[in-house]
Amino acid sequence: MIALQPTDDQKMVRDSVAQFAERTLRPRLREFERARDLPDDVLQAAHGMGLPLAAFPEAAGGSGLGVVTQVLIEEELAYGDPAAPFALGGPGAYGWAALLFGGPEQGKALLAPFVGEGAHTRVGAVAWGEPRACRDRGGMVTTAERSSSGQGWTLRGEKAYVLNADRAQGFIVFAQVDAARAWEGLGAFVLPCDAKGLRVLPRLDTLGLGAASFGGLALDGVEVSDDARLPLAGDAQRLAWFFATQGLLVAARCVGLARAAFETTRDYCEQRKAFGKPIGHFQAVAFTLADRNMDLEAARTMVWHAAWLWDEVARGAEGSDARSALLHSAWAVSFAKEAAMRAGDDAVQLHGGSGFMRDYPVEKWMRDAKQMQLCGMTAEQADQLAAAIALGRPIDPALVLPGAESQNVFV
Partner 1 sequence: MTIEFSPNKRQRETQAMIHQFAEGIVRPESLKWDREHGIPHDFLRRIVMMAQSMGSSALGVNRGSGEAEEVDLETRKKRQIALTTILSAEEMSWGDAGLLLCLPGPGLGAPPVRASGTPEQRQRFFSIFEDMSQELRWGAYALTEPGAGSDVSGIRTSCRKDGKHWVINGRKCFITNGARASWNVVFATLDPSLGRAGHRAFVVEKGTPGFSVGKIEDKMGLRASETAELVFEDCRVPEENLLGGEESYKSKEGFMTAMKTFDNTRPLVAAMAIGIGRAAYDYAVGFVKDHYVLSRPIPRYAALAERLARIGRQLEAARMTTWRAAWLADQGEPNAREASICKAMAGGAAIRACIEAIEICGAEGSISGEHQLLEKWFRDIKVYDIFEGTGQIQRIVISKRLLPDLKAF
Positions that interact with partner 1 (CB under 8 A): 1-8, 10, 68, 266, 269-270, 278, 280-283, 286-287, 289-291, 293-294, 297-299, 301-302, 304-305, 308-309, 319, 328, 330-331, 334-335, 380, 382-388, 390-393, 399
- State how far the Cα of 80 lies from the Cα of 43, in Å rounded to an integer: 14
DSSP per-residue codes, 176-204: ES-GGGGGGGEEEEEEETT-TTEEEPPPP
- State how far the Cα of 234 lies from the Cα of 374, in Å rounded to an integer: 24
Nearest to 21 by CA among 364, 376, 339, 260: 260
**In terms of CB distance, is 199 or 287 closer to partner 1?**
287
Q: How far is the CB of 336 from partner 1 (least distance, A)?
A: 10
**In terms of CB distance, is 146 or 287 closer to partner 1?**
287
Nearest to 125 by CA among 171, 178, 183: 171
Query: Left, alpha or beta for 405 (phi > 0: left; psi -120 to 50: alpha)?
Result: alpha
Q: How far is the CB of 394 from partner 1 (least distance, A)?
A: 10
Q: How far is the CB of 290 from partner 1 (least distance, A)?
A: 4
**In terms of CB distance, is 108 or 259 closer to partner 1?**
259
- State how far the Cα of 112 lies from the Cα of 107, in Å rounded to an integer: 9
Q: How far is the CB of 96 from partner 1 (least distance, A)?
A: 21
- State how far the Cα of 22 lies from the Cα of 75, in Å rounded to an integer: 12
394-408 exposure pattern, b = at least 16 Cβ within 10 A, e = fewer: ebbbebbbbbbebeb
Q: How far is the CB of 5 from partner 1 (least distance, A)?
A: 4
Judge contact between 199 and 220, C-beta under 8 A.
yes
Q: How far is the CB of 245 from partner 1 (least distance, A)?
A: 17
**In terms of CB distance, is 324 or 354 closer to partner 1?**
324
**In terms of CB distance, is 178 or 263 closer to partner 1?**
263
Judge contact between 343 and 261, C-beta under 8 A.
yes
Q: How far is the CB of 33 from partner 1 (least distance, A)?
A: 29
**In terms of CB distance, is 229 or 300 closer to partner 1?**
300
Judge contact between 165 and 215, C-beta under 8 A.
yes
Q: How far is the CB of 284 from partner 1 (least distance, A)?
A: 10
**In terms of CB distance, is 165 or 379 closer to partner 1?**
379
Nearest to 301 by CA among 260, 256, 332: 332
**In terms of CB distance, is 171 or 243 closer to partner 1?**
243
Judge contact between 83 and 29, C-beta under 8 A.
yes
